[in-house]
Amino acid sequence: MPKPLVKPGAVIDGYTIGECVHAGGMATLWTVTHVGIDAPLLMKIPRASEGEDPAAIVSFEMEMMILPRLTGPHVPHCYGTGDFAHQAYAVIERISGTTLYKRLPDLPLPYDEVRLLVAKIATALADLHRQNVIHHDIKPSSIMFRDNGEAVLIDFGLSHHDHLPDLLQAEFRLPYGTAPYMAPERILGVRDDPRSDLFSLGVLLYFFTTGERPFGEGETLRAIRRRLWRDPYPPRALRSDYPPWLQEVVLRCLEIEPDWRYPTAAQLAFDLTHPDQVKLTARAERMKRDPLSVAWRRRFNPDVKPSGARSDLATQIAMSPIVTVALDTAEGAPELNESLRVTTERILATLPSARLACVNVLKLNRIAVDKTLDEQGSNKHIDRLVALRHWATPLKLDENRLSVHVLEAVDPATALLEFAEMNSVDHLIIGARQNSFRRTWLGSVSAKVAAEATCTVTVVRPPRMAAAKPDAGVVWG
């Protein structure tokens, strides 16, 4: 490859080079302009001179393959790439602001601030995983935020794309990544499990709430390998005011065995968005690391092993959706609620890692002042939460797979649509319109939800309605 001549004023494929804004260990970033493109641009150029790490070239090849395939607000838009025969580069949008790395001097941050930050990052990861990509280098310097608050993931040189050759896996035996954030299975050669990103995000969550990294600063293979058998100190051992629900989330992300972590980034984001719904286990109360006897058993009888067969990223995500069932506990006929439960049970039977959110909307008056108590003096909100949990009891779900929510809104349909959008719901189950003059003329909640939802919607009718209408179960994609 010819020696590149990159300096301010040079023109590469129509892009005019400006100033160098960053010089990293594997690449440099330059501002560029192009006739016809008004957006601020950056050109990323790999370090390929004599003596440079060959991994820099391979990782840049991966990034050039992956970047053009990514879409959406959580990744930088790619405008073009150049090959190594002339000059390798990738031109991406320049996102205003700085990376999360700039916040390190402020650590530890307030718990609620970190909760919201990491929830946004988890949402971005969920979107990335749905595009068949595992990032493999989640850390503060790989995360930015748009002006509207949305998280943006950058630097995909170490990433794995489920539909592309994994050049790093093929050409290097040692794992590449940022050691303090690396998941234990990476040392065993596993690169196709999206839960590795959740481990890294757990490290970030631990670090930003305690000010200390859970596994220290060790960057040797020996230090990383210790994660196969040694757990970190629980956050509550470092900070006495650490919320139990937050420790539950952190330690679940940092589980040694991937199967014990959150199944998807979307489910992690859901818990961070609804901390009152986090189900506490023994993790939440821990004050010490596991005894040495347990650590030694793990070391010589490890549960984490390299995957024998190549896993399918899309299948893993599809088997772990967030399912929402909308119930009318106040007016819903028993027959309809029973039909909803039967339908929900059938769907969950095929999805052992699915998360179920039972939702009811407490309708508010547009003009009159709403009362929190009913005629018997009971709190309406609490009564409906109890009713939702009672409805779900026959499903016999694990506590960490179930949550109940009462939304208060003037327009129930809009409330359900917003809940589904904000929580990345994959499948919404709702009862069909009941027979009434008012609903016939004004429309039904189920009709509006089915028409406008961005997720799959199943509309369920009770048996007697199904007998009169052939479309007893209608699924809207």
Tell me, what CATH number does 238's domain have? 1.10.510.10
In the chain, the percentage of residues whose pLDDT exceeds 90 is: 64
| pLDDT higher than 60, residue 28 | yes
Is position 2 within any domain?
no
For residues 139 and 225, membership in a common domain is answered with yes
In the sheet where 355-363 sits, what is the strand order?
A: 402-409, 355-363, 322-326, 427-431, 456-460, 473-476
Q: What is the pLDDT of residue 310?
A: 56
Categorize the per-residue pLDDT at 435 as very low, low, confident or very high, splitting at 50, 70 and 90: low
For residues 351 and 250, membership in a common domain is answered with no
Is position 4 within any domain?
no
Q: What is the pLDDT of residue 298?
A: 82
Start-to-end CA span in the chain (Å): 49
Among 417, 446, 416, smallest CA distance to 431 is for: 446
| pLDDT higher than 80, residue 233 | yes
Could you count the other beta carbons within 10 Å of the beta carbon of residue 310?
8
Is position 49 within any domain?
yes
| 146-168 mean pLDDT | 93
Answer for the pair 27, 18: CB distance below 8 angstroms, yes or no.
Answer: no
For residues 303 and 333, membership in a common domain is answered with no
Beta bridge partners of 408: 362
| pLDDT higher than 60, residue 467 | no
Q: What is the pLDDT of residue 464?
A: 63
| pLDDT higher than 80, residue 438 | no
Q: What is the pLDDT of residue 222?
A: 83
| pLDDT higher than 70, residue 2 | no
Number of structural domains (the chain) is 3
Categorize the per-residue pLDDT at 303 as very low, low, confident or very high, splitting at 50, 70 and 90: low
For residues 409 and 311, membership in a common domain is answered with no
Per-residue pLDDT reduced to its tens digit, 244-254: 999 999 999 99
Per-residue pLDDT reduced to its tens digit, 331-376: 557 888 999 999 999 999 999 899 999 999 988 875 544 555 555 5
Mean pLDDT of the residues in the chain? 87
Categorize the per-residue pLDDT at 85 as very low, low, confident or very high, splitting at 50, 70 and 90: confident
Rounded Cα distance, 316 and 126, in Å:
12
Is position 289 within any domain?
yes
Rounded Cα distance, 158 and 177, in Å:
7
CATH code for the domain of 398: 3.40.50.620
For residues 453 and 368, membership in a common domain is answered with yes
- Decide the pairing of beta strands 402-409 and 355-363: parallel
Q: Decide which of 86 and 258 is more confident.
A: 258
| pLDDT higher than 90, residue 79 | yes
Per-residue pLDDT reduced to its tens digit, 411-424: 999 999 999 999 99
Integer-rounded Cα radius of gyration of the chain = 25
**Alpha-carbon distances, residue 195 vs 187, 205, 277, 322 (angstroms):** 14, 15, 22, 16
| 323-336 mean pLDDT | 82
For residues 127 and 182, membership in a common domain is answered with yes
* Buried residues in 317-344 as b, exposed as e (16+ CB within 10 A): beebbbbbbbbbbeebeeebbbbbbebb
Q: What is the pLDDT of residue 293?
A: 86
For residues 362 and 446, membership in a common domain is answered with yes
Of the candidates 254, 283, 316, which is a domain's last residue? 316
Please give the full DSSP string across 85-121, using - where no structure is assigned.
Answer: TT--EEEEE--SS-BGGGGGGGPSPPHHHHHHHHHHH
Per-residue pLDDT reduced to its tens digit, 32-57: 999 999 999 999 998 876 556 677 78
Q: What is the pLDDT of residue 368?
A: 45
Rounded Cα distance, 87 and 97, in Å:
28
Helix (H, G, I), strand (E, B) or coil at 369: coil
Q: What is the pLDDT of residue 311?
A: 64
pTM of the model: 0.89
Is position 3 within any domain?
no
Largest CA distance in the chain: 83
| 453-473 mean pLDDT | 70
Please give the full DSSP string across 207-275, using - where no structure is assigned.
Answer: HHHHSS-TTTT--SHHHHHGGGT-PPPPHHHH-TT--HHHHHHHHHHT-SSGGGS-S-HHHHHHHHH-G
Of the candidates 60, 93, 126, which is a domain's last residue? 93
Q: What is the pLDDT of residue 315?
A: 86
CATH code for the domain of 84: 3.30.200.20
| pLDDT higher than 90, residue 267 | yes
Categorize the per-residue pLDDT at 209 as very low, low, confident or very high, splitting at 50, 70 and 90: very high
Categorize the per-residue pLDDT at 441 as very low, low, confident or very high, splitting at 50, 70 and 90: very low
Is position 83 within any domain?
yes
Q: What is the pLDDT of residue 224?
A: 85
Q: Decide which of 341 and 168 is more confident.
A: 341
DSSP H/E element including 418: helix 412-422
Q: What is the pLDDT of residue 374?
A: 54
In the chain, the percentage of residues whose pLDDT exceeds 70 is: 87
Among 276, 384, 278, 380, smallest CA distance to 329 is for: 384
Expressed in percent and rounded to 5, the helix, strand and coil fractions of the chain are: 40, 20, 40
Q: What is the pLDDT of residue 23?
A: 85
Give the structural domain span for 417: 321-476
Answer for the pair 81, 89: CB distance below 8 angstroms, yes or no.
Answer: yes
For residues 146 and 278, membership in a common domain is answered with yes
Q: Decide which of 464 and 200 is more confident.
A: 200
For residues 334 and 465, membership in a common domain is answered with yes
Is position 184 within any domain?
yes
Question: How far out from the chain centre does Cα 122 lie?
Answer: 3
Rounded Cα distance, 285 and 299, in Å:
25
Rounded Cα distance, 73 and 80, in Å:
18
Categorize the per-residue pLDDT at 210 as very low, low, confident or very high, splitting at 50, 70 and 90: very high
Of the candidates 272, 289, 316, which is a domain's last residue? 316
| 384-405 mean pLDDT | 93
Q: What is the pLDDT of residue 379?
A: 78
